[in-house]
Chains A and B, each alone.
Chain A
Amino acid sequence: MTALPDSTQRRLGLVIDLDTCVGCHACVVHCKEWNTGGYPAPLSDADPYGADPTGTWLNRVHSYEVEAPGRTPRVVHFPKSCLHCEDAPCVTVCPTGASYKREEDGIVLVDEDLCIGCKLCAWACPYGAREFDPPTGVMKKCTLCIDRIYNEHLSDPVPACVSTCPARARHYGDLADPDSEVSRLVAERGGYELMSETGCRPTNRYLPPRSREPAATAAGNAGDGGGDGASPPVLEDAPAEGGFLGWIDRLLTAADRDPSPPPDSRP
């Protein structure tokens, strides 16, 4: 069995914003594209043009339909990859030392040289974040793009999924640093641990969808959505004086205001 570090200097991880994730799979495929030629290369695809195309992916988006009481039903898109847990059961279960958690940044990795493909780690992970790659016989997982985040050839060395997310729903940083952008986001937006009851103490955090939808049962009590969110009342009829559309003349700017709204000029 493999030991975890007592503590890590940093806790590098992802903060994923469920309020803006549209489920487009950009992060999923970009991860695949980078990593199939990168550190964990290859991420194989079995039967790629056949009846059951099945490949190895380090990041997937799951979509759920949810319906909270009193709310209209909605679809939630939920990206999930390794959460780089502090108490990572996938590491402690590993019989060879292939799975390990790095002391310097908290990233959980697999050393494929040591991996015997026993899949114990996949069984141990409560999040289903590990993927066995049958053609190569080893376990693959999110590396937090270990070959990007320290890569001097990149101008913006962040994980591939973060670099490409069109909805800006993915944020990367050090969650051990309370002043980091990701820590601030977690504090401001109520970022939460996925399935905290597992006791794995995941590093990654999710930002919940903001709730600005009016209650389905109480029409008319929502603001316009911006700023103070005040509830504007139902619009009142324009004053009737001046005849049909008399108000339109009064709406023209003061400098241009016509003292006497014109009646029909037609005899």
Chain B
Amino acid sequence: MKHGIEYSAPIGDEVRTTTCYMCACRCGIRVHLKDGTVRYIEGNPDHPVNRGVLCAKGSAGIMQHYSPARLTGPLLRTGERGSGEFREISWKEAVDLAVKWLRPLRDTDPRKLAFFTGRDQSQALTGWWASQFGTPNHAAHGGFCSVNMAAAGLYSIGGSFWEFGEPDWEHARWFMLLGVAEDHDSNPIKLGLARLKERGAKVVSVNPVRTGYSAIADEWIGITPGTDGLFVLALAHELLRSGKVDADYLASYTNAPWLVLEAPGDPEDGLFARDAEGRPLVWDRDARVARPAVDPENRPALRGLRELPDGRAARPVFELLARRVLDPRYAPEAVAAATGVCADTIRRLASEIAHAAFEHTVTLDVPWTDVHGRRHEKMVGRPVAFHAMRGISAHSNGFQTCRALHVLQMLLGTVDVPGGFRYKAPFPKPAPPPQLPAGRPEQIGAGRPMPGPPLGFPRGPEDLLVDPQGRPARIDKAFSWEAPIAAHGMMHSVIRNAWAGDPYPIDTLFMYMANMAWNSAMNTAETAAMLTDRDPETGDYRIPRFIYSDAFASETVAYADLVLPDTTYLERWDCISMLDRPIGSADGPADSIRQPVVAPDRDVRPFQDVLLEIGARLGLPGLVRDDGAPRYPGGYPDFLVNHEYRPGVGPLAGWRGPAGDTHGTGAPNPDQLARYVANGCFWQDRLAPSQRYFKHFNRDYLAYAKRMGLIGSDDPIFLQLYCEPLQRFRLAARGHGAVLPPEEHRGRIERYFDPLPFWYAPFGSPEGDAAGEPEGGSGEGSKTDSKTGSGPAGEGGWPLHAVTQRPMAMYHSWGSQNAWLRQLHASNRLYVPDPVARSLGIEDDDWVVVESRNGSVRAQVKRMRAVNEHTVWTWNAIGKRRGAWNLAPDAPEATRGFLLNDLIAELLPERDGGYRYANADPITGQAAWYDLRVRIRPADGPGERAAPLAPPPGAPARPAVLRFGEQFRRAGAGNGPARNRSAGSGP
């Protein structure tokens, strides 16, 4: 042949497995190296998460790893904050300084340290470290992200959507995605959608925007943002109206038959009727007496007011729920206008759901045994599955909306059954999980650790982190009366509160991988200003010290006093623990590690190593031995192998025990990491077929889960249609109990802590919630009163919803400076519904001013039809501040890109008395960034952009041309003018 081709060249000279970190998905990867350089990254076909596939981000990992935006060494600020003036310092100086700053805080008042991490995956370390330090002020980015989803799920079904549960891709016949953009968990959802379509299932997407997953849905419901709860309750209304619910499932596995006390004024009103042992009661229809719900011989009633032996009255949950959902306000015709979904469509969808659920039952010939020891010959399920994500979660009504969705699943009997939603191990857990947050005032003291983790799941007012006056104990006000079930903390409130000294001043803000000076903050410009604001009396910064760790020159680096440069994900050990964000599947638990596949070529260190060193230098208990020597001198890999949270339970579940032959629990195994590496850097266990469904009531599964340390008890996990913990808070608002909310919070608690799901208008909407948050606020145009339907354009009022999503090629990725990915998305447009654009005379690429009550930004327009007609949207986090990420000053990210964050207030408008709540869900504190309302008007150009940031010292020169891969050309083989043209031969 005349054309030389080398058909079978080795890819590289070495291949190593590890775990991707281009986003939060945690796919297994195989990294091929050639001459010490990363040649090629591919999905690991054996890996349970991605099964060999890899997304655009993962494939662009090479460009992330070799990015010129990488920090090169530790930095100490020399100029003003934000000036970018730093001095390069040694690691010794950096760690010495951190220890010097932190030691007096620990010795006097550990709360003065606020330690928050962003998208990291090492919370099993960082949360524990915070507890050892003694500060309650720790969380990761979940409060910003999707805590409504997590908390509503965990308090309802002991599991959640997100990454903690998945549709039964193999058996679902009818599938609805709600508020899922291009996000969690990306590759498994894509694989699953393909499988559903291959099987002929119907895919329905409920989303204001039809892109990505919605683009391939068989049916798209372009719902108005913030109204999903109404829509879901209307579906439930239809099912209840027609009797299309799974009564046996409800009676057996949920609290539908549990009796709720009807005793107005009684301190137990609205709580479950219980026996002397505290067991919830049901009404047995034969014996006509109340009996413990756990008794398998019950024939429980699902309706009827009953009289208890003590004379009080009680009614089953199911009847209360039915009365709620059958209320005419949730009838399809009543919700059509607000949701933008016509009543006929809602009725048809409900009918399709009922048809799939009750006419196409899935039966697996797999016997299983329930917790009562009763053998079931088959697994029978209802093949209707739901999955939901941020579009549901990031609203101020997100918790109750997500609760409504779980209630819909329970009514259909489609939780952990064939064809429905499936828990991923280690879930289910009891609803809520038995883990309480530590950080009450008496749990904090100079020089001592906290007795538990900073995050958890309050059962009632007595578990809140408040002082005797009811004031927040945490800087972010999580677990206070402002956000009692803030299970992931409230990172979005930290900088604001620290700046304001509310509820108290702090000294040091310590953050990791959280771009709080840019796209991870609401109200971006003001947030940056808070970091640079000084107290006029002392001249000191209001937030006195700011330590930051990141691998890249993000916007936030410019505001730090001390910068601890992290490695890239290919340069370090890491752990994806079941104690943090598990990667288990519905068929069994799993966890994984990262191993270094290349050595750093810069003066950088893995953040976790540095954190352990700082902790040991501070002498934190658990981090030093009795003689004061570091307990984990080998750094993070030493910790991963040898640390035990409780005997036998460490960060990793695989290959425990001295011989590495036990899993789940067991003594540390010195060879554990080698075993992970030998297995492709992950561990997984497979459930027996009899354990794979009905896990909440499956005797064999629960026994297995207890044995593996996934749960503490093998008691049945009853699903909670009625969320009793909410009622406990509500009773406190009525003056019952030992821990009472301050008067000013009582109305809010009374209204929103409804133990049954309900819908209210998002706080950010001009309509406001009837009994909730008032209209008003700061900024221009705050006194307009336009309603949603006041006209499609932008004249007056706030007629448009504004939402964001991240493109799949950048979803959850850390830095869009990536040379390949930024060719796909280097600037973002504001997508405007065609009728709105037409009414304003706006064409593609025209500039507009986008205004909210909080501020304004300028954006270039792209007209669109496949979008809710009251909604504009954009790709998030494309816009960059000029000078950041080592991009050129004229990079489109800075000259044309924009963030909507500037438009989103971090606080709600003032209430009577002047108090401003966080712009968040009142139950969980979830940041409500999808509540945003705007108007738009034509503009003449991009206007003034944020002032440029100076690049940090040590930033390498940006190449004018990249010819990556040229170095891999093999001399004497293959294509190309530089090579000899040897004759290859085709097979």
Stretch at the interface among A86-94, A147-155, A174-182, A192-200: A147-155
Residues of B contacting A42 with CB < 8 Å?
Answer: 963-966
Q: Give min CB distance, A204 to chain B, whole Å.
A: 19
- Once the chains are docked, how many angstroms separate the CA of A210 from the CA of B303? 45
Contact of A74 among B215, B288, B303, B961 (CB under 8 A): B215
Q: Does B354 contact A (CB under 8 A)?
A: yes
Residues of B contacting A77 with CB < 8 Å?
Answer: 215
Given contacts A25-B808, A51-B892, A232-B354, A150 and B8 within 8 Å (CB-CB): yes
**A37 near B39: Cβ-Cβ < 8 Å:** yes
- Once the chains are docked, how many angstroms separate the CA of A248 from the CA of B245? 8
Contact of A225 among B5, B7, B174, B817 (CB under 8 A): B174
CB-CB nearest in chain B for A47: B960
Contact of B808 among A22, A230, A252 (CB under 8 A): A22
Given contacts A210-B218, A225-B352, A168 and B251 within 8 Å (CB-CB): no
Stretch at the interface among B42-50, B75-83, B84-92, B436-444: B42-50
**B190 near A48: Cβ-Cβ < 8 Å:** no
**A265 near B248: Cβ-Cβ < 8 Å:** no
**B60 near A235: Cβ-Cβ < 8 Å:** no
Contact of B305 among A32, A214, A266 (CB under 8 A): A266
Within 8 A of A (CB), among B1-58: 2-11, 34, 39-43, 45, 50, 52-58
CB-CB nearest in chain B for A256: B299
Q: Give min CB distance, A199 to chain B, whole Å.
A: 26
Residues of B contacting A74 with CB < 8 Å?
Answer: 210, 215, 220, 866
Residues of A contacting B191 with CB < 8 Å?
Answer: 166-168
**A138 near B55: Cβ-Cβ < 8 Å:** no
**B8 near A234: Cβ-Cβ < 8 Å:** no
**B347 near A104: Cβ-Cβ < 8 Å:** no
Q: Give min CB distance, A70 to chain B, whole Å.
A: 14
Stretch at the interface among B673-681, B753-761, B822-830: B822-830
- Once the chains are docked, how many angstroms separate the CA of A264 from the CA of B316? 11
Chain A interface size band reads 35 or more
Q: Does B450 contact A (CB under 8 A)?
A: no
Q: Does B375 contact A (CB under 8 A)?
A: no
Q: Does B96 contact A (CB under 8 A)?
A: no
Q: Give min CB distance, A241 to chain B, whole Å.
A: 12
Q: Mark A92-112, 1 if CB is under 8 A from B, else 0.
A: 000000001010110001011
- Once the chains are docked, how many angstroms separate the CA of A252 from the CA of B301? 10
Contact of B307 among A53, A147, A153, A267 (CB under 8 A): A267
Question: Which residue, of B216, B865, B963, B964, has the highest number of chain A Cβ atoms within 10 A?
Answer: B216
Residues of A contacting B313 with CB < 8 Å?
Answer: 266
Residues of B contacting A152 with CB < 8 Å?
Answer: 8
**B976 near A113: Cβ-Cβ < 8 Å:** yes
Q: Does B128 contact A (CB under 8 A)?
A: no
**B303 near A100: Cβ-Cβ < 8 Å:** no
Contact of B194 among A20, A237, A267 (CB under 8 A): A20
Q: Give min CB distance, A267 to chain B, whole Å.
A: 7
Within 8 A of B (CB), among A156-174: 156, 163-169
Q: Does A72 contact B (CB under 8 A)?
A: yes
Q: Does B193 contact A (CB under 8 A)?
A: yes
Residues of B contacting A37 with CB < 8 Å?
Answer: 34, 39-40, 964-965, 968
**B173 near A235: Cβ-Cβ < 8 Å:** no
Q: Does B356 contact A (CB under 8 A)?
A: yes
Q: Does A123 contact B (CB under 8 A)?
A: no
Q: Does A222 contact B (CB under 8 A)?
A: yes
**B347 near A234: Cβ-Cβ < 8 Å:** yes
- Once the chains are docked, how many angstroms separate the CA of A239 from the CA of B148? 37
Residues of A contacting B215 with CB < 8 Å?
Answer: 22-23, 74-77
**A150 near B7: Cβ-Cβ < 8 Å:** yes
Question: Which residue, of A163, A213, A222, A235, has the highest number of chain B Cβ atoms within 10 A?
Answer: A235
**B306 near A111: Cβ-Cβ < 8 Å:** no
Question: Which residue, of A67, A163, A220, A226, has the highest number of chain B Cβ atoms within 10 A?
Answer: A226
A residues contacting B by CB (< 8 A) are: 19-26, 28-30, 32-55, 57, 65, 67, 72-77, 100, 102, 104-105, 109, 111-113, 135-136, 138, 146-147, 150-156, 163-169, 209-210, 212-214, 219-220, 222-227, 230, 232-239, 244-245, 247-249, 251-253, 256, 258, 262-267
The 5 A-B residue pairs whose C-beta atoms are closest, nearest first, are: A225-B202, A238-B243, A37-B965, A235-B242, A36-B965
